[in-house]
Chain A
């Protein structure tokens, strides 16, 4: 079977708009999940007991659920429960953010707990408040250690954005299906989609590897 670039080139803007949608969904989701994940992670490490238990339940539940299930439930089931409607893109962003935030929370907790306790005691002995200890002593060291893991989560989030195709978010897989259906050239179209993802994910994955080697040991006390 021959390989022709025609179907891809003719629909390039359409396919690239799909890819752009993947980028938008991923970037917004990683932003939201960083905010939520920091809240959950710090809540688990420093919050009262009941809060830590509740947040642990949330984190472990998200670890047990496939992202597909969360996306499909948010889009199809949640609106029935809440008597409202939700469009595909916000549904995908909400679901992916909730899912990734659990992983962010685990990274934050591990990072914060990797700072030796003696440092907290020393800072408190110097008369710093709990908030100051967190902001000036623990977080500056912990965040550096979290960076490589956050980059890995970025890779996961970009891959999750592809799953949003199941609720008709016009991202690149959805667009590829349309083009493949019109041109009867699934080979070229889906191969293009694979290469497009690779072009985005490979540099991010290399950045993660580089950070693991370069940054992970920094701030070790």
Chain B
């Protein structure tokens, strides 16, 4: 078997576009899923039973089904039910955002709950207003606990964007697999795809470890 690696260099433009799409999807999804997660977490902690129930149902549904199936469902079922067409990109972004929002909701809820009640009570006893307690006592500590988990979610999201390739969104995985089937350079293209994901994901994984070490055990 002979391998012809020149195909990888010849496809560099398409691969770069695909890699950029992967990065774009990751950034946009997180930009939607952080406010989305905060909203769900606040709903979950609210005194309103209906809001709580809705948030629990949303979070559990998205955490207990595979993302790839959510993507398929959004792509094949949603248009027939709503009778509107979304682009593959919009569908993929929507499925990813809802999925990551559910995970972020749990992260934020755990972060807020982890700050002992006594601290807000002490703040209030010192004459701080409710908003001050939240801004100066609860949030700074909660952010430090939430940040490492968000970093872990970010890396997972970066990898999960590859799943939208099944609905023909032109991310790195889709682009590489398309060139593979056109050129028949299977090993070369799939290896290039793996190396590119590795090259982008490895520093992110290491950075996540650093964030965990840096913020671990600090109050």
Q: How far is the CA of A81 from the CA of B194 in the complex (A)?
A: 15
| Chain A residues closer than 8 Å to B77, beta-carbon distance | 186-187, 190-191
Q: How far is the CA of A163 from the CA of B80 in the complex (A)?
A: 24
Asked if A68 is at the interface (CB within 8 A of a chain B CB), the reply is yes
Interface bits B52-95 vs A (CB < 8 Å: 1, else 0): 00000000110111111110110011001100000000000000
Judging by beta carbons under 8 Å apart, are A198 and B162 in contact? no
| Chain B residues closer than 8 Å to A158, beta-carbon distance | 66
Which residue of the partner chain, among A68, A80, A81, A193, contacts B69 with CB atoms under 8 Å?
A193
Q: Chain B nearest CB: distance from A55 CB in Å? A: 15
Q: Could you say which interface size class chain B belongs to?
A: 35 or more
Asked if A173 is at the interface (CB within 8 A of a chain B CB), the reply is yes
Q: Is the interface of A mostly helix, strand, loop or mixed?
A: helix
Q: Chain A nearest CB: distance from B17 CB in Å? A: 18
| Chain A residues closer than 8 Å to B64, beta-carbon distance | 155, 197-198, 201-202, 205
Asked if A46 is at the interface (CB within 8 A of a chain B CB), the reply is no
Asked if B151 is at the interface (CB within 8 A of a chain A CB), the reply is no
| Chain A residues closer than 8 Å to B163, beta-carbon distance | 66, 68, 163
Q: How far is the CA of A165 from the CA of B65 in the complex (A)?
A: 15
Q: How many residues of A contact B (CB 8 A)?
A: 41
Interface bits B148-192 vs A (CB < 8 Å: 1, else 0): 000000010001111101100000010001001000001100110
B: which residues have CB within 8 A of A? 1, 60-61, 63-70, 72-73, 76-77, 80-81, 155, 159-163, 165-166, 173, 177, 180, 186-187, 190-191, 193-194, 197-198, 200-202, 204-206
- 5 example contacts (A-B, Cβ-Cβ < 8 A) are as follows A1-B80, A60-B205, A65-B201, A158-B66, A198-B61
A: which residues have CB within 8 A of B? 1, 60-61, 63-70, 72-73, 76-77, 80-81, 83, 155, 158-160, 162-163, 165-166, 173, 176-177, 180, 186-187, 190-191, 193-194, 197-198, 201-202, 205
Excluding A66-B197, A155-B64, A186-B77, 7 further A-B contacts by CB distance (< 8 Å) are A60-B202, A61-B198, A64-B204, A72-B177, A190-B73, A194-B73, A197-B69
